[in-house]
Structure 1
Amino acid sequence: MKSDSNSNQPQRIFLTDYLPPSFSIDSVQLYFNLHETKTQVKAKIDFKKIKDEALVLNGVGLKLLSIKLNEKPLAENSYKVEAETLTIPNVPDAFTLETIVEINPEENKACVGLYLSRGIFATQCEAEGFRHITYFIDRPDVMTNYSVELEADKTKYPILLSNGDHLGTQDLGNGRHLAQWKDPFKKPCYLFALVAGDLGVVTDSFTTHSGKKVKLEVFASHGKQSRCLHAMQSLKNSMKWDEERFGLEYDLNQFMIVSIDDFNMGAMENKGLNIFNSRLVLADPESATDTDFERIESVVGHEYFHNWTGNRVTCRNWFELSLKEGLTVFRDQEFSADLNSRPVQRIKDVDALRGSQFAEDAGPNAHPVRPESCLAVDNFYTSTIYEKGSEVIRMMQTMVGKKGFRKGMDEYFRRHDGQAVTIIDFANAISEPNGYDFTQFKLWYTQAGTPEVSVHEDYNADKKEFSLTLKQSCAPSAKQPNKLPFHIPLLIGLLDSRGQDMTIESDDLVINSDQLPVLHLKNSEQKFIFKNISEKPVLSINRDFSAPIKLNWQASPAEMLHLLKYDSDAFNRREACYKMILQELKRLITGLRGGASVNPQASVLDALGFVLNDSQIDVQFKALMLQLPGVDILAQEEDVLDAVAFNKAEKLLIIAFVKQNEKQILDLYKMHHALDSVGDRALKNRLLSFLVLAEIPQAVAMASQQFIQAKNMTDQLGALAILCQTDSSEKTSALQVFYDRWKDDAVVFNKWLMVQAYADLPQTFDTVKKLTQIKPFSLENPNNVFSLHRVFGENFLALAQTKGEAYKWLCDEILTVDKKNPQVAARLCGSFNFVKKLPDQLKQKAQTEIKRMLATDSLSKNSRELLESCI
């Protein structure tokens, strides 16, 4: 790989440097002699030479004990061991290499490779973790068959798991036992996994459409089995859905999920042996919120769906990561939408996209869905790769329709099953069978940034013609100053004065295979004409958020209210409300920063009042319509991220809304408090937060009472989070009660950390520092760090209230974490994505601390890559 820096700095790698592997691997036999501090790994690998080159294997932190080629020991002068490689200059065309290495799982706090998590051996090999286990060609386009033997202490580790089919377990007679596993499907090494420990298990089965009975197992710590039932049901739902929607049947005889407390990722799709962060497995109503249940269902689906989109067909190199992740996010979003409310799911997905990915596109680390270069492969795991990648897939489905998309998916697997391929291979498999040209559309994969589309309307009553002129642009990014026009598919509708959808006729419309009208914006400026329009319509554009763009559209308050009340597209109905609130907050912020006396406009308050009082609106949908955009959204709209002004504007709007509707809000809270659906709880907690923020006299007591009387975690945590926004004795009491009840539960304890780190109070910084000293908090536990440091790092108001002191502390903490777990430290660096938009004094202090971190020689390449662009 070429380098764009001097030899003392980490080398940047480039997509254009890709070369096919010089060796293939026919098979791998692995023998693990598991020990807490001295695990030995014996690897027997059958190689074939493709190019006449030296064999270079990846290996990090390995103690080489033995090396043989074709069963003969190699002389020390015939190979070279360096910090990250093992090189053998001269090898035959076909040969077997046998190595034995020693590793220390107990000392491994990075949670990469093989490590110990509270007495359980576990692995994490994506992206480059396998090289921490044994010497290997650690890249995703080298696929082979694995046979695995695991030896361990029988008492400490009665459960021994790996990929594929379990061939048997035997007692070795010395207090140890041996399990044998064989995976019949070729896979890259990043999908290798093993687990060894003393675990409880929930067992079930699923019969595939061809009649094969698959054994299903979910493993967790003893006593937690009852909290695995939702994950098990989610797995069965996933298997059924994938058969029905995409015709994809599971291919092994068993499928396993293991819950681990110390895990950098959310979950990992290792073939047949998924390893999950415990927060995404363990759930019951007492310990998990409604959001937790939804998230577990989604992630279990996501990892299962990877069996085909990621495992059977994988990515050629890590620059192509969105091939598997963007596609599989799309699949899990569709799964969740089919099993729940499709409009609610779509709104939540877009809210998450805007809050995270749009911010990424607008920030210093913007990159395309298929990046061009990197310092650390681990930094590819971003919202752009995942969520924006999913939206690109969704646009393909919008263009060709669901039927056409299924046709393309079938072709994708026909062409590429068992291969490591590229994003372009996938796009071609969708476009070619459907007769589409995706040449311009593929720019979505290579250009960074969020396109902006401005809208100009004109209605000619005499001709009964409605014309729509659209202009697109995309702001320059650091590495891409000039952008070509994107191919943007837009679902569209026109509403008449009664709120009904009008029949639309246009030569510019393309009807997809689902009979939906799609506008294709391809030029920088493009005009679309609609004929036989009997009255001036109200435009509903980008329905269902058909393209991940920003719309610059100056619709009148009356038009927005019309869409809010009548649009048949649920997403755009909520979007109208969302835009009204967003524009009003921006207006209030501008006034406050200019020193003006401002008040919320009656038109916005009336719109919110309509939503509140319309009994025909689904309660879960209503809760989303009343949700205010967060500071992460406002930060993208403003030149300066003034968290103090935003907080004041938010309070002004909520106080005015509550003042105008206090009785209705109180009545609705009481009504939904007595009911027990997901939507009832969501709306009730939204209303309670408004009442407390508006300082209604009885509101804190209501929140305290809800906390005390709660029969489920959604109600209890909702009340606790609201109380944490107050400086009250009720908050102090509730926090102590919650801690005493849940301090020994690794999953729920993190919720206690989060609600305090999120508080918009001047003392939050002091609180967070104290929480790092409270047991069982540990900087070595990724979930603890994400729940406290990451949440606090995104609490812009709390950070601003410290006048920069918190940035010094946060940087010190990141440096400490970085020494042992660079992946976790790099994610904490996301706290600085908006640093260039901070007020000058705060920005200067934050950037001073960033420069101090960059001057640290031992700083990992993971953190360095993300921080360099923030100054």
Structure 2
Amino acid sequence: MDIATTPITPDGNPELADAAPTPHEPPVIRREDYQPFPWLVPTTQLDFRLGLEATTVTATLQVERNPAAAASRELCLNGDSLTAQSVTVDGAPAEWRMDGPDLIVTLPGEAHSVTIVTRIDPSANTQLMGLYASNGMLCTQCESEGFRRITFFPDRPDVLSTYAVRMEGDANLFPILLCNGNRTNAGENGDGTHWAEWHDPWPKPSYLFALVAGDLVANSKPFVTVSGREVECNVWVRAEDLTRTDHALESLHRSMKWDEDVFGREYDLDLYNIVAVSDFNMGAMENKGLNVFNTKYVLADPDTATDADFDAVEGVIAHEYFHNWSGNRITCRDWFQLSLKEGFTVLRDQLFSQDMRGEAVKRIEDVRILRAAQFPEDSGPLAHPIRPDSYREISNFYTATVYNKGAEVIRMMRSMVGVERFRAGTDLYFDRHDGEAATCEDFIKAIEDGAGIDLAQFRRWYSQAGTPRVTVSQAVEGDTLKLTLKQTVPVTPGQPDKLPMPIPLRVAVHSRGQGALGEEQLIVLTDEEQSFSLPLTGPDPVVSINRGFTAPVVIERALQREDLVFLAAHDDDPFARSEALQELAVSHLVGTASGSLAAGEQAAGEAAIIGAFRSSLADNALDDAMRGELMVLPSETYLFEVMATGDRKADPGAIHTAREGLKAAIGTALADELNALHARASAVTLDDPAGRGARKVKTIALGLIAAADPARAAHLAAAQYDAADNMTDRQGALMVLCGLDGPEREAKLADFYARYRDNALVVDKWFTLQALSLHPDVIAHVRQLAEHPDFTMKNPNRVRSLHMAFAGNPKGFHKADGEGYRMVADVILALDPINPQTAARFVPALGRWRRIEPGRAALMKGELERIMAAGNLSRDTFEQVSRSLEG
């Protein structure tokens, strides 16, 4: 499953909530308490009589005692807001009872057929978990525990079953009936209804079940596998969206071919369906053979989608396809093993995107996301290992730690053993565990055995939270450089004591004196402190370390400013080159924000950064895509993390002022170069890598110009908007205008809305651009937008587009009087009864209060206490708020 990453005045009606409040203290589930389920369910038959307001589900489970589990005469079937209309065992009335939401059936023998009939109302399902209605169609989302909202079932990932499904419904309302696996039969009933039967031959857990019924059309193109089988590939959408599906279908074909070539994985069904749904909590879901997607990650054409949107569609399509093996054919034993499938699959989609779009820029982008989302998580009250030890609500662990850090941990294994040996390890993993519910330990053992490496100490990466910090010192000893590294893993909630972990680092020793670049080698720091001898290439050695970001750590070193300038201009590793410029800017901005820089130092630092930018602008060897990366300053979120170390607290206002001041200084000093760059890039119109790079640097240059000369930027942005023949240029121009105060802003916002008012995804952009803007009245704008007729609390995309975007706007969210905090807390309270999963995702923004200056900290904590005091919170929100207050 892909996490929705798109960034609510409450117009939703809490009375529409479809589940009773959970107990105030949800139970804690612990990994150490895992026990196999007492019953196997080899086959499951489901019969659906479909209706938007009333759907009847008849589930027949063939069950038999599990010899690997403790014997029990009781079969516990999970339910959530369900009432059983009938329960039979072997065709006769059963002995059963309810235990809270769960149904308990007494079974006297070794094997039985259990049939349960339930009736549900999909139209009332505002949680969007289970079977729900979305604009006249029916669809499902079952990961992680949504299947129990459809029928009573052992809804856990280690219960694998083959599914046969019959669907029946109104042929006019639901002309298309889709389910997992292959369609085996279909027909008409003669009364306006029709039916279809589906069979999935591959055993799967209930969270991978999917059903879609609606008025859809398909963009279809077969794919021929490496063994010569033809797979029917379909992208199903509403008729008006069909023209925007070519990129998704092409991305699917590229993914299928890449997985054959790189990981040796061939698709295993005759059919692969993707369905785009407008109401969806996440980005997409990998249900076996029937992927259900948020429309955001399917629909794309140049007029309505940016270059970044095209990349996101390709990456998410790939991610869900790759799950067919890393998640479906081998699934998780329990939810504590979530990173087994998600971390591995994120790595696979990252490697795919590198091959499609270029490794250097993609790697820099991935690390930027990690630092913006996962590093704050690892240093806050919600910190947890990639394999957690406990939870109250599993949906809270679909986190950047499990996904992104999980990918980085597996990437470290790949770095240590090399591509070929890593492939041998993954081949062994797939061979050993195909058809099983596996654990993270199973994966590590397969890499260990297949690649021939001892990963005993490496396992600590799975059990310890926190981002390691590596302190670097160096000394010249004859013709070698002695590099001394010291690692510390910070204290995190529940883990006061940490052990050293293996940290692989690609390093090279350059010579600034001779302008010589050293040869790269891999070193692995395994002890708390360790020294390495590296060959010198000449005088004035400069160490390039963690090249390619081989380890998800914070490097702490005291490099001279001229060394960083040298690396930013000359390092042969693109990531290290970008990182040197980031270090230069971070040191300057944190020093400026904290007031620790003397006037002379501040001026010198500013001059060095401007010089590095000037070198990047003048370097003709760079393509624009990489040039754009070198022109991006560290985010305020990352600066917050760097500033809030040890006993020091971050001041978001000071950070914002320092960063905007540096932008203005760069824009002023490089005005001629930036204007020339914008003009040159504006003349590039090709839709190829060069054109994509030109569009990228055009808007980055425009943003720097705006910081120094708002009037000129408004003129240039308005001209860029008017000349745009693609969404990348149009959105980039509008983004800059949104932060300015002038007539161009209002005119272009009105034009954008009028042009795209019938396209929900582009209207989402319209909301987001305003919520993220640097405009001084951004909070008032967000409040007004929450009253807009197109805003609704019931659609997660729309909620994320406005209020989640605002929560990620450091200027507005951290307004000193706490108005931003109050607004987000109000959103949480209003949204929680409607969609707890989405509501809970707002809490971490408030949960960073311990790391912020005292005035804002008190205001943030106060809002968390207000949420907790409201009572009747969902399990999702209760867990996030309580941990944020306790951590």
CA distance in 2 between partners of 1:564 and 1:592 (Å)? 24
The offset of 1:566, in angstroms, is 1.8
The equivalent residue for 2:292 is: 275
The equivalent residue for 1:794 is: 808
Aligned with residue 305 of structure 1, among 313, 322, 342? 322
**Any idea what the Cα deviations from partners look like across 1:746-789, whole Å, max 9, x if unmatched?**
11110001011101233111111111111221100000111111
CA distance in 1 between partners of 2:704 and 2:607 (Å)? 18
The equivalent residue for 2:624 is: 619
CA distance in 2 between partners of 1:524 and 1:358 (Å)? 21
The equivalent residue for 1:488 is: 503
| Higher mean displacement: 84-93 or 594-603 | 594-603
Q: Is the 8 A contact 1:790 1:831 kept in 2?
A: no
1:662 aligns with 2:671: yes
The offset of 1:531, in angstroms, is 4.6
The equivalent residue for 2:780 is: 766
The equivalent residue for 1:412 is: 429
Normalising by structure 1, we get a TM-score of 0.95
Question: SS at the partner of 1:32?
Answer: strand
CA distance in 1 between partners of 2:246 and 2:201 (Å)? 29
The offset of 1:850, in angstroms, is 1.0
Question: SS at the partner of 2:548?
Answer: helix
The equivalent residue for 1:41 is: 57
Q: Map residues 339-738 of structure 1 onto 2, 5 A cutoff.
A: 339-460=356-477, 463-497=478-512, 498-503=514-519, 517-531=521-535, 535-591=539-595, 599=603, 601-639=606-644, 640-676=649-685, 677-738=691-752
Change (3 A) 1:315 1:794: same
CA distance in 1 between partners of 2:712 and 2:479 (Å)? 57
1:71 aligns with 2:85: no
The equivalent residue for 2:16 is: none
Question: SS at the partner of 1:530?
Answer: strand
Aligned with residue 122 of structure 2, among 105, 109, 115? 105
Q: Is the 8 A contact 2:131 2:150 kept in 1?
A: yes
CA distance in 2 between partners of 1:8 and 1:192 (Å)? 30
User: One-letter code of the match for 2:413?
Assistant: M
Aligned with residue 352 of structure 2, among 297, 315, 335? 335
Q: Is the 8 A contact 2:516 2:538 kept in 1?
A: no
Question: SS at the partner of 2:61?
Answer: strand
Percent identity (aligned)? 39
Q: Is the 8 A contact 2:64 2:110 kept in 1?
A: yes
The offset of 1:38, in angstroms, is 1.3
Q: Map residues 203-352 of structure 1 onto 2, 5 A cutoff.
A: 203-352=220-369
**Any idea what the Cα deviations from partners look like across 1:824-866, whole Å, max 9, x if unmatched?**
0011212213222333222212211211111222111111111
Q: Is the 8 A contact 2:569 2:612 kept in 1?
A: no
Aligned with residue 742 of structure 1, among 756, 780, 797? 756
Q: Is the 8 A contact 1:57 1:85 kept in 2?
A: yes
CA distance in 2 between partners of 1:593 and 1:827 (Å)? 37
The offset of 1:645, in angstroms, is 1.4
Q: Is the 8 A contact 1:267 1:274 kept in 2?
A: yes
CA distance in 1 between partners of 2:361 and 2:675 (Å)? 24
Question: SS at the partner of 2:100?
Answer: coil
The offset of 1:67, in angstroms, is 1.0
Q: Is the 8 A contact 1:744 1:776 kept in 2?
A: no
Question: SS at the partner of 1:476?
Answer: coil
CA distance in 1 between partners of 2:596 and 2:108 (Å)? 72
Q: Is the 8 A contact 2:588 2:602 kept in 1?
A: no
User: One-letter code of the match for 1:222?
Assistant: A
Q: Is the 8 A contact 1:79 1:86 kept in 2?
A: yes
**Any idea what the Cα deviations from partners look like across 1:70-125, whole Å, max 9, x if unmatched?**
01122xxx211243200123432100001110001000010000000111100000
Change (3 A) 1:617 1:531: closer
**Any idea what the Cα deviations from partners look like across 1:311-337, whole Å, max 9, x if unmatched?**
000110000000000000000000000
Change (3 A) 1:660 1:8: closer
CA distance in 2 between partners of 1:659 and 1:403 (Å)? 50
The equivalent residue for 1:58 is: 78
Q: Is the 8 A contact 2:479 2:535 kept in 1?
A: yes
| Higher mean displacement: 88-97 or 179-188 | 88-97
Q: Map residues 160-239 of structure 1 onto 2, 5 A cutoff.
A: 160-239=177-256
The offset of 1:556, in angstroms, is 1.1
Normalising by structure 2, we get a TM-score of 0.94
CA distance in 2 between partners of 1:582 and 1:828 (Å)? 27
CA distance in 1 between partners of 2:276 and 2:402 (Å)? 25
**Any idea what the Cα deviations from partners look like across 1:501-559, whole Å, max 9, x if unmatched?**
335xxxxxxxxxxxx73211100000111357554532111110000000011111121
| Greater relative CO, 1 or 2 (CA 8 Å, sep 6+) | 2
| Higher mean displacement: 558-567 or 261-270 | 558-567
The equivalent residue for 2:10 is: none
User: One-letter code of the match for 1:870?
Assistant: S
Change (3 A) 1:766 1:533: closer
CA distance in 2 between partners of 1:223 and 1:626 (Å)? 39
Instruction: Provide structure 1 residue ranges, at least 5 long, that are not aligned to the other structure.
Output: 1-5, 504-515
Change (3 A) 1:490 1:611: same
The equivalent residue for 1:811 is: 825
The offset of 1:638, in angstroms, is 1.4
The offset of 1:447, in angstroms, is 0.1
Q: Is the 8 A contact 2:429 2:443 kept in 1?
A: yes
User: One-letter code of the match for 1:564?
Assistant: A
**Any idea what the Cα deviations from partners look like across 1:544-589, whole Å, max 9, x if unmatched?**
0000000011111121122122211111011111111111111221
The offset of 1:641, in angstroms, is 3.1
Instruction: Provide structure 2 residue ranges, at least 5 long, that are not aligned to the other structure.
Output: 1-21, 686-690
The equivalent residue for 1:755 is: 769
**Any idea what the Cα deviations from partners look like across 1:657-685, whole Å, max 9, x if unmatched?**
12221111111110001113110000000
The offset of 1:359, in angstroms, is 0.8
The offset of 1:170, in angstroms, is 0.4
The equivalent residue for 2:873 is: 859
Q: Is the 8 A contact 1:109 1:780 kept in 2?
A: yes
| Higher mean displacement: 229-238 or 652-661 | 652-661
Aligned with residue 132 of structure 1, among 149, 164, 182? 149
| Higher mean displacement: 442-451 or 430-439 | 430-439
CA distance in 2 between partners of 1:735 and 1:660 (Å)? 30
